[in-house]
Structure formats: C-alpha cells, structure tokens
Structure 1
C-alpha cells in the first residue's frame, strides 16, 4: 500500500487525538524498532505497561486504516 500525503496527515491527526499520553511517548520507540524492555527503561515504565500501550496503539492504527479504506 502506498501511503499518500492525505493518509499520513489524517493518521497523524487521528493519533494526536486518540492516543493516550503514554501511547504518544511509546509510539516513536515503537516505530524505531525498540524492544519493550528498551522502551520501558528509556521511559522508566514497567514492561507490561509498554506492552499494553503498544497493543492499544496498534489496534488504533488498524482501526484508522480500516476506516480509511472503506
């Protein structure tokens, strides 16, 4: 799938509105491929909280993509 400018701008706005503060902190590390453990150490959070934040973020992105493709 080629990501157009409109899609990326919409995704950015959607994430800005729908991600929690922890999810917003975790998202850049997630995109850069950091492990849950590396992210938890950098953010001084428990690994399980990072795991949950990443799962929620992925689900929110999936919902956005599905709604965009409809």
Structure 2
C-alpha cells in the first residue's frame, strides 16, 4: 500500500526490509499500480493517482524506477 504512504514511511519500509532480508538473496515484493518512467496508464490509474494526491500530496502512484533506487540506495 505504498501508494497511500509518505516518502518517510516508504524509506522506513525499505530500511526494515534491509535488516530482515539476507543480502543478495532476499526479495521484497510490493504490489499495486505503479508509474513507469513517469507515465501512468491506463486512464483509471491516472484518475486514481489524481484522487490520492488530492487527499494527501504525499500519496500517489510511485515510479517503479524510483522504488528500485530506494531499494539500492535507501532514500526516496
């Protein structure tokens, strides 16, 4: 449910996973709609994203590329 989480909560999730998973062998799998290279599709996900941001500017669909970077470097 990272689409309704703040950046600090997502950073905390990845930090906790780092401590729980074995380096090089463990996987953290997330589920949900994502943006890819800044693009969101289909239209229903665009509307969903807009609705989330209207409720809280820290919410919204995350770009999968940024999430991979957080997993590798640790900061969103």
Per the normalisation by structure 1, the TM-score is: 0.30
> Which structure has more helix as a fraction of its residues?
1
